[in-house]
């Protein structure tokens, strides 16, 4: 996004001046200038301040804030303040609070606290969005609208139940269709009246931790809740759009957050933004994958890094400081993968309530003489130097990984065959192998256009939605390479099994059928034994968790199981399909297998790594635009790493140096290399 | 049970044709024939289908199903369909759903979902049972009535509370008696009015996991709930009996399921049936023990194996496939221990909801070309060959182990002395020692007749019910061997301590008293040190968990503790009592102690193993009838095992071979040897 | 406390004759005499017996009991019986039961079951206290009033909510003050009306395990609940005092019990009493610390050991027996640290309900021929011999450790920086180091007078209350040594951060500022590296959990971090302040550091150990009065220990022997040495 008012990588973050006074505001502005801050997000949690009662709105503080920021050249991402309803509203209109999974009526408290089907919430959130849009639509500081904040959380109230029944009527039209979709003859759950349907909760079909007696209803409730929260977003977005025609609208997402189908959400958002909070033990390749997923939400469109911490978090078990250089490194990781902004939570640390131990640009000490501030200020200067050169540059990946929230819901709701199976972890295994090979990948929706890729990978494609099998066949027939795994092709979009033999609709493409699925306890292994060398694959590799017992029916067997009663049955197959090939990995393979396996597939398709022989811990990514190509090299190691960038000359955007051959990156160092 | 309509080992299982259509039905029958299936259980979860509203019953589908099955020679176990109430019933009559342990009203969902004291449930479940009996009593396919399904789960609603007070009035007559039984002067809980009594739940006396402030009320609530659910069974059974005079009635039990006192239930059932679902780590001797317990419920009467999975389960953490041969092996294990049927859940796999990953005879693939189906079909042929030879054959064990649900409740409700004590595990330790010695044992009620046994073992007989001590004295005085353990003889049937010194009523018989009971944390041990050799026992053996500090008062000390401040105090005693002997094992002994200990006791009583020197992993069991004796040898190992069956000639019922001396069993092999 | 009626160390405990009859009473008295029992606590749980309905009181049983005890020379601690309300009261007046953390209305059951703001409870508990006082005020057996029992547990009902709002109005006067104290502009929680305020619970601001979105409100609710329960105590105490002018009043406390601020409670109590129930793995130094804390509640005044078990507990996971000699040893530990009584729960073991496996003086066996009774009786004789010599003797410690319940609440409510930080554990680390050095310490309130000490230690003084920093400055300036640690000086009494740099108000005293606070996962370490030897400290010592990154601004750096990016930054500093010194330990240090560190500080201040070179496992404590000094030596080892008591002659009060030089204590042996 190249914003006309601020055509550079935005730099700033969440700012709550309402918690402070004139003295601090003055200091804030002084320090913003020192740090090159040019954008702040305000008004995120100010509903109670803006609307002290049912009939009164008071934006005086916001007028002053907008003007003050603008006077100092700081742009504003203006939130709608609806992320937490006011206390008076909960008291006067109890419908605004949620009912929890066990049927307990929540009272005022916390955030993410509004029932998405509450008439009160919908009315007042729309109304305040409208008032804000009307008032600030032409304010010169306004850059972007930010609706609510980190939508999430389900409700189980009677109003949601009634809305769920309506939603079902829209989706299925007849009760017969519902009964069939959910297979309600099982356990005698046939519904004869729409009102017979009870929402799935801890009091009806579900238990703690994605446990459900009826996957069909639970799956639909997740769809319905995602839609219900999205409807809240849309109410506000439409209210804004009535007044403010051109300013883009977003809300901040949360990566692989499980509760919302972000591919649906993306359709309603002008631009994606998200909050990046890796845990202490999140692999860097997982952060990279999630950035790529956020980029994939709108077909490769760059996104806003809306929040990250400059130093430490507060809600992890152990909140370690980001080591020196790490904040800069991770900021460039975001940019490398599609971010056109670098923004923080929070500009100034609050002094009370639960986020007072969350890092901030301006710490409790209140001055600029801190390590954290120095690192922030240095990065600010660099970003100013980068100007608009990277803005709106895209990925040119030839490999895509399919990601699907509804498939994830279905996989994790499944009762059997194992509790170990986690969708994101399996997807990440494939992503990580590519990452370490230096192969760029896109994370895309099953609805996306596959034809721009050479290789499409669908780990654990348990749910095959209507039309997808045909699309994959067409892709492969046209010369593409398709890869999928164990526990794929099992059910349709309603979690009903496709009978006749797994992998159901994918059988013709894969040329196999799976007779049984074995599960072994954590810590027990079988082996993938190669029948003959395949690229660098040779010999035996560990595999675990689930083991499809497959038969080739047209496919060639590349590897077999190494032990147990299914020793000698196929563990890896390839099926020639049209001009392409379809691979089936029948079990959860160790990284030692996946990396050479994917290397071979890429080599066969002529997909080259961004950098050959990428050292451990060094990340490579590329953005391109208008014939220009920017290669990012990010050294996640604490120590120096040497990378061979080839003989072509490249200019480092950060240092201005011209480089070629073997270059050295200091620990946590970054290069942004443009071909010259 | 030799059923006149099907005088062989029944073979079949749970079948839900209502989830399918004519095409699948046709395939089902074709495959049933291939597999030798001759019985199916139907109508288990069809209440909503049979009764679409308050006033309408529609059995057309069931008429057709019964006729269709009969036409193909398949007998029917006809369930009453009351295992889950219809959705419309929950909506119209909220009394039908339960209130949970924390007082939360449940809504429609799941199964086992009806309040056992719901007037609606009792009325409609009785009514449909009556309608079914009237309609199908003379149907030629009808073999057996199957009331509801796997009864279980407690309710905590106001109706149950009122019924509990009535139940208490019947049991105790006066409030004084209640106050005394529960020792309510403790913590000032004296009740002055029946309505003062509140049911024990997470809102009153109890906490998660068998935690109670008042064991007396909690014990009685378990009795009351077992009785309440049994009353539901009786309502249906009586409704059936009114119309169907001779067809036997059962419901499927669940082994050592903790919530129901199955000895009480057995009195109301014509024949016992049960569902065998061992976990991945269930020892084979535990499965054997539970079969024996089910056989013991009606004094040794053979039972129906109503359900087992042909391949895998879905509700375990890791649902491994049954390895080749295991389904057959475990089927014969059931037969060896008293089963006169081999039945599966489920005949055809459902395609939606939570059991779609549970194994079935007909898998999602839908055809016979699967390993699972082949194994099922081979076993079907064998069972046809076995005919009626084994039917109604009994155990002739001379050793009995006492098992008591109420004692289990009391032991596990106990606050102190240790959280480690699990009744079933302690019982199994003794059973397992006998199992590995090849000694047949019966699992019996404390109410049973002990006189047919030479040895009676009562592990952790914490609760001594009225009359039991005297019965044990008589048994021992007449020459029997009695064995009990630490933490025995502590309380009466109301969990009130028998004062004057542990083991209370058992003191005269055992000739000891226990002054203190020490508890050590898991992983800490003491030793049982033999004073002189006793059979093969000699030297020192580990013991753990609880340690009675006992004094001999007439008993002879066979072993002492090896360490701690009670080193030298008795750990094992024997008391000569009349013509018999009473042993006390004062601590939880290691298997290395128990096996030689019980071998010596058996040898002293002339109780011989079924097979001498039984190899590890080989199980022996015997059934006898009309002068015929069938010795089962089951090799649970994956590899070949050699067993010396002695010099007498025996015929293997499966192969027809005549064998003697050392015979070889292949891995997972089975022999059924009749003396010839 | 030297009680005129019983001027010796009281010996006895909780006694429930109402659970028994005349036969047992007779035996009780016979055995009390054998054991030297001279005091019992009665009427603890007899409310239902005393008041069988709303209008009837019946104290006949209590009259008889009091007279019977008096007749045999046994004094009475008379409880008010309000620790559990009667069942009839819960039925007629539901306001008397609590609402739990998740909003569930509790029903009758358990104990500690009354809502502290219930009008019914307050009315009837005050009334029965008044009746008892009026009736027994002049009874010759009466020694002490014992209000209720082990107060604890919070309520979340509407009545408590209303009372909380009133409490807030009293504390803050204006809503503005509340909003400011709780920083409610965070997350838009501004309150515009007192009724907007919702109590913090699992339905509003809090989650399981001290999780809160708003620490301010959660902190105040803890204060309010402590006050509410204290108000219940005061109602009874005042009702008693109206009739019984001179008999002291107490209630039994529970050491470091987290829910009540015992320093507030102590102000309302005439004498402290407490119940000592160490777990299996409680270090002896922790028990010692808690005794010292109980002594500190009323500025060093001796206390009553109201309960301990003679043998085993029932509510631990593993309830091991107290080994021979341990009951005596721990009884003297209590006396050594300020107890003027040795009392047990329970005199006779109940036979039903949840404490029947809790040890007692009279066990279920019912006679005196038990190890436990013999040990009790021997100790009884010793205590008779000690007479009044130790009564009312005080500590003369020169080192104090600050302990603060409100600071604990705030530390443990904190969201970040680590889940590992436990206030009591950190305090105990410092106590334990002194304990092992043989240095006597007092545990005192921040409100106490520091001037009588040479050294004041404040581990994790996160919350600095008004005036405390100034008091510490004055103490240090006058020559004192002050020690505090990482994560100190962060917030004020409302958990609002003191900005400008940690440790906030303590900065001038400590001469440092902390820029960042790092957290490492459990099991990861940094090192404290001494710059030069400091006493016996030299080289490198492990540290863990939290790591303040501090800068000296006046302080001298004694040690630095040994690794990570803050290697070389200060880990230990000292600041000369007036005539004294202020130390800052910037991380959680290993015991190997703390012991020599505190030894050096004591040496510098001339604070001498009670005994030089105290052997491992031997405890030393001293009580003094009227010029007499009693040195207690307690050998917690199972084996003999030799202690050098110096050349001065001392008389052992227990054996009468005159000792000097090296003395030997048998395993679990005790010496009480008076200088002669």
**Cβ <8 Å between C519 and A105:** no
Handedness of CA B350, B356, B362, B367 (dihedral sign): positive
pLDDT tens-place string over residues B602-639 = 999 999 999 999 999 999 999 999 999 999 999 999 99
How many Å apart are CA A440 and CA A633, to the nearest integer? 12
**Cβ <8 Å between C190 and A358:** no
- Name chain B contacts of A200, Cβ cutoff 8 Å: 109
Structure ipTM:
0.97
- Name chain B contacts of C350, Cβ cutoff 8 Å: 183, 186
Active site residue C150: yes
Beta bridge partners of C650: C659, C675
Search chain C and give the residue with CA nearest B185: C19
Out of B415, B494, B521, the one facing C318 most closely (by C-beta) is B521
Q: Determine the average pLDDT of the residues in B292-316.
A: 97
How many Å apart are CA B50 and CA B67, to the nearest integer? 17
In degrees and rounded to multiples of 5, residue C428 shows phi and psi of -65, -30
> Which of B405, B534, B545, B394 is CA-nearest to residue B463?
B405
Q: How many helices, marked H, and strands, marked E, lie in chain C?
A: 17, 29
Q: Where are the beta strands (DSSP E) in C181-284?
A: 206-207, 211-212, 249-250, 252-253, 273-275
Contacts of C109 (CB under 8 A, 6+ apart): B198, B200, B203, B204, B205, B206, B213, B214
Out of C185, C198, C499, the one facing A107 most closely (by C-beta) is C198
- N- to C-terminal Cα separation, chain B: 24
Residue A228's pLDDT is what?
Answer: 98
**Cβ <8 Å between B103 and C105:** yes
> Which of A503, A509, A501 is CA-nearest to residue A461?
A503
Residue C676 confidence class, pLDDT cut points 50, 70, 90 = confident
Both tokens of C32, joined, read: 């009390």
**Cβ <8 Å between A107 and C500:** no
How many Å apart are CA A494 and CA A217, to the nearest integer? 9
Search chain A and give the residue with CA nearest B110: A205
**Inter-chain CB pairs, A–B, below 8 Å:** 175
- Name chain C contacts of A46, Cβ cutoff 8 Å: 185, 188
Question: Does B16 count as an annotated binding residue?
Answer: no
Residue B243 confidence class, pLDDT cut points 50, 70, 90 = very high
How many Å apart are CA B407 and CA B409, to the nearest integer? 5
Residue B398 confidence class, pLDDT cut points 50, 70, 90 = very high
Contacts of A92 (CB under 8 A, 6+ apart): A54
Residue A543's pLDDT is what?
Answer: 98
**Cβ <8 Å between C204 and A357:** no
Strands B273-275 and B252-253: parallel
pLDDT tens-place string over residues C574-599 = 999 999 999 999 999 999 999 999 99
Q: How far is CA C137 from CA C77, C78, C141, C144, C247, in A?
A: 12, 10, 10, 10, 8
Helices within B72-118 (DSSP H only): 87-92
Both tokens of C471, joined, read: 């008091």
Contacts of A642 (CB under 8 A, 6+ apart): A615, A662, A663, A664, A665
Strands A142-146 and A249-250: parallel
Residue C286's pLDDT is what?
Answer: 98
The annotation places the binding site of A for substrate at 111, 149, 315
Search chain A and give the residue with CA nearest C502: A365
- b/e map C444-466, b = 16+ CB within 10 Å: bbbebebeebbbbbbbbbbbbbe
**Cβ <8 Å between B324 and A565:** yes
Residue A112's pLDDT is what?
Answer: 80
Both tokens of B79, joined, read: 């369930």
How many Å apart are CA A67 and CA A29, to the nearest integer? 13
How many Å apart are CA C384 and CA C654, to the nearest integer? 11
A247-250 long-range contacts, Cβ below 8 Å, gap at least 24? A247/A137, A247/A142, A247/A143, A247/A144, A247/A145, A248/A1, A248/A144, A248/A145, A249/A144, A249/A145, A249/A147, A250/A144, A250/A145, A250/A146, A250/A147, A250/A304, A250/A306
Contacts of A509 (CB under 8 A, 6+ apart): A469, A472, A473, A476, A482, A575, A577, A582
How many Å apart are CA C168 and CA C178, to the nearest integer? 8
A307, A406, A473, A560: the catalytic one is A307
A221 touches A213 (CB < 8 A)? no
Please tell me whether the overall predicted TM-score, pTM, comes out greater than 0.95 for this model.
Answer: yes
How many Å apart are CA B468 and CA B487, to the nearest integer? 16
Residue C112's pLDDT is what?
Answer: 80
How many Å apart are CA C85 and CA C47, to the nearest integer? 7
Active site residue A307: yes
> Which of C460, C453, C380, C554 is CA-nearest to residue C13?
C380
Residue B42 confidence class, pLDDT cut points 50, 70, 90 = very high
How many Å apart are CA B364 and CA C3, to the nearest integer? 84
Residue A103: Cβ-neighbour burial (10 angstroms; 0-12, 13-18, 19+): middle
Among all residues of B, which ones are annotated catalytic?
A: 150, 307
How many Å apart are CA C378 and CA C386, to the nearest integer? 13
How many Å apart are CA C204 and CA C160, to the nearest integer? 15
- Residue whose tokens read 């294990």: B333
C120 touches C177 (CB < 8 A)? no
B128 touches B239 (CB < 8 A)? no
Q: Cα distance from B322 to chain A (closest Cα, Å)? A: 9
pLDDT tens-place string over residues B179-233 = 999 999 999 999 999 999 999 999 999 999 999 999 999 999 999 999 999 999 9
**Cβ <8 Å between A351 and C183:** yes
Out of B45, B88, B357, the one facing A415 most closely (by C-beta) is B357
Domain annotation for chain A: domains and CATH numbers: 10-154+229-386 (3.20.20.80), 158-219 (no CATH), 399-604 (3.40.50.880), 618-675 (2.60.40.1180)
pLDDT surpassing 90 at residue B112: no
How many Å apart are CA B636 and CA B670, to the nearest integer? 9
How many Å apart are CA B332 and CA B473, to the nearest integer? 38
Q: How far is CA C58 from CA A581, A601, C55, C147, in A?
A: 91, 90, 10, 19
CA triple A371-A377-A381, angle to 5 deg: 145
Residue among C111, C114, C352 with most chain B CBs within 10 A, to mutate:
C352
pLDDT tens-place string over residues C497-519 = 999 999 999 999 999 999 999 99
A76 touches A143 (CB < 8 A)? yes
Out of C102, C200, C519, the one facing A104 most closely (by C-beta) is C102
Question: Does B157 count as an annotated binding residue?
Answer: yes
**Cβ <8 Å between B185 and C107:** no
Q: Cα distance from C180 to chain A (closest Cα, Å)? A: 9
Contacts of A512 (CB under 8 A, 6+ apart): A503, A550, A551, A552, A553, A554, A555, A570, A573, A575, A584
Cis upstream peptide for C352 (omega within 30°): no
Search chain C and give the residue with CA nearest A369: C515
- Name chain B contacts of A215, Cβ cutoff 8 Å: 352-354
Residue B539: Cβ-neighbour burial (10 angstroms; 0-12, 13-18, 19+): exposed
How many Å apart are CA B411 and CA B422, to the nearest integer? 8
C453 touches C399 (CB < 8 A)? yes
Residue C280 confidence class, pLDDT cut points 50, 70, 90 = confident
Residue A452's pLDDT is what?
Answer: 97
Q: How far is CA C488 from CA A93, A140, C491, C546, C571, in A?
A: 42, 45, 8, 12, 14
Q: Is C430 in a helix, a strand, or coil? A: helix
Q: What is the DSSP letter of A310?
A: S
How many Å apart are CA C193 and CA C184, to the nearest integer? 13
Consecutive 10-residue runs of chain A (676 residues): their mean pLDDT? 93 98 98 98 98 97 98 98 97 98 97 94 98 98 98 98 98 98 97 98 96 97 98 98 97 98 98 96 97 98 98 96 98 98 98 97 98 98 97 98 98 97 98 98 98 98 98 98 98 98 98 98 97 98 98 98 98 98 98 98 98 97 97 98 96 97 97 95
- Name chain C contacts of A324, Cβ cutoff 8 Å: 565
- b/e map B403-419, b = 16+ CB within 10 Å: bbbbbbbbbbbbbbbbb
Residue among B53, B352, B372 with most chain A CBs within 10 A, to mutate:
B352
- Name chain C contacts of B495, Cβ cutoff 8 Å: 352
Residue B508's pLDDT is what?
Answer: 98
- Name chain B contacts of A499, Cβ cutoff 8 Å: 351, 364-366
pLDDT surpassing 90 at residue C1: no
CA triple B423-B425-B431, angle to 5 deg: 105
């Amino acid at each position: 996004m190249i914003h006309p008012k601020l055509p550079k990588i935005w730099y700033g973050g969440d700012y709550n001046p309402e918690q402070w006074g004139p003295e601090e505001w003055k200091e804030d502005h002084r320090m913003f200038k020192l740090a090159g801050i040019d954008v702040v997000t305000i008004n995120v949690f100010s509903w109670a301040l803006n609307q002290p009662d049912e009939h009164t709105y008071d934006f005086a503080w916001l007028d002053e804030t907008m003007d003050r920021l603008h006077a100092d050249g700081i742009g504003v991402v203006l939130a709608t303040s609806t992320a937490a309803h006011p206390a008076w509203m909960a008291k006067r209109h109890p419908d605004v609070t949620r009912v929890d999974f066990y049927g307990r009526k929540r009272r005022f408290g916390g955030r993410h606290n509004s029932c998405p089907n509450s008439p009160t919430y919908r009315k007042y959130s729309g109304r305040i969005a409208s008032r804000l849009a009307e008032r600030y639509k032409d304010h010169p500081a306004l850059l972007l609208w930010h609706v609510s904040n980190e939508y999430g959380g389900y409700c189980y109230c009677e109003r949601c139940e009634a809305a769920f029944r309506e939603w079902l009527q829209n989706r299925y039209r007849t009760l017969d269709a519902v009964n069939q979709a959910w297979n309600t003859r099982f356990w005698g759950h046939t519904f004869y009246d729409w009102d017979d349907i009870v929402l799935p909760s801890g009091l009806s079909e579900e238990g703690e931790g994605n446990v459900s007696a009826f996957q069909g209803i639970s799956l639909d409730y997740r769809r319905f809740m995602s839609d219900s929260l999205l409807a809240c977003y849309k109410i506000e977005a439409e209210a804004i759009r009535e007044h403010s025609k051109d300013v883009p609208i977003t809300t901040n997402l949360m990566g692989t957050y499980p509760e919302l189908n972000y591919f649906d959400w993306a359709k309603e958002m002008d631009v994606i933004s998200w909050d990046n909070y890796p845990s202490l033990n999140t692999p860097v390749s997982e952060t990279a994958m999630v950035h790529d997923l956020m980029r994939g939400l709108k077909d490769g469109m760059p996104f806003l890094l809306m929040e990250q911490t400059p130093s430490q978090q507060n809600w992890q078990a152990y909140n370690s400081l980001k080591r020196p250089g790490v904040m800069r490194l991770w900021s460039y990781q975001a940019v490398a993968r599609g971010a056109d902004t670098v923004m923080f939570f929070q500009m100034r640390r609050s002094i009370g309530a639960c986020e007072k131990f969350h890092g901030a640009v301006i710490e409790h000490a209140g001055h600029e003489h801190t390590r954290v501030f120095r690192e922030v200020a240095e990065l600010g200067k660099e970003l100013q130097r980068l100007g608009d050169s990277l803005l709106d540059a895209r990925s040119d990946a030839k490999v895509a990984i399919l990601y699907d929230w509804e498939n994830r819901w279905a996989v994790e709701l499944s009762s059997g065959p194992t509790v170990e199976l986690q969708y994101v972890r399996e997807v990440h295994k494939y992503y990580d192998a590519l990452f370490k090979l230096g192969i760029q990948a896109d994370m895309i929706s099953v609805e996306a256009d596959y034809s721009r890729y050479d290789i499409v990978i669908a780990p654990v494609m348990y749910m095959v939605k209507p039309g997808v099998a045909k699309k994959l066949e067409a892709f492969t027939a046209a010369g593409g390479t398709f890869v999928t795994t164990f526990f794929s092709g099992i059910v349709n979009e309603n979690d009903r099994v496709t009978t006749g033999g797994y992998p159901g609709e994918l059988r013709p493409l894969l040329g196999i059928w799976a007779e049984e699925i074995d599960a072994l306890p954590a810590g027990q292994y079988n082996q993938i034994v190669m029948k003959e060398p395949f690229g660098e694959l040779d010999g035996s590799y560990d595999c675990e968790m689930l083991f499809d017992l497959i038969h080739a029916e047209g496919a060639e067997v590349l590897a077999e199981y190494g032990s147990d009663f299914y020793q000698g049955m196929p563990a890896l197959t390839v099926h020639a399909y049209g001009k392409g090939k379809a691979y089936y990995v029948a079990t959860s393979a160790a990284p030692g297998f996946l990396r050479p396996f994917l290397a071979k597939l890429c080599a066969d398709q002529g997909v080259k790594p961004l950098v050959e022989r990428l050292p451990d811990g060094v990340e490579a990514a590329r953005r391109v635009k208008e014939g220009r190509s920017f290669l990012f090299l990010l050294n996640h190691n604490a120590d120096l790493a040497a990378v061979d960038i080839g003989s072509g000359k490249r200019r480092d955007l950060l240092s201005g140096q011209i480089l070629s051959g073997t270059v050295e990156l200091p620990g946590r160092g970054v290069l942004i290399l443009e071909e010259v």
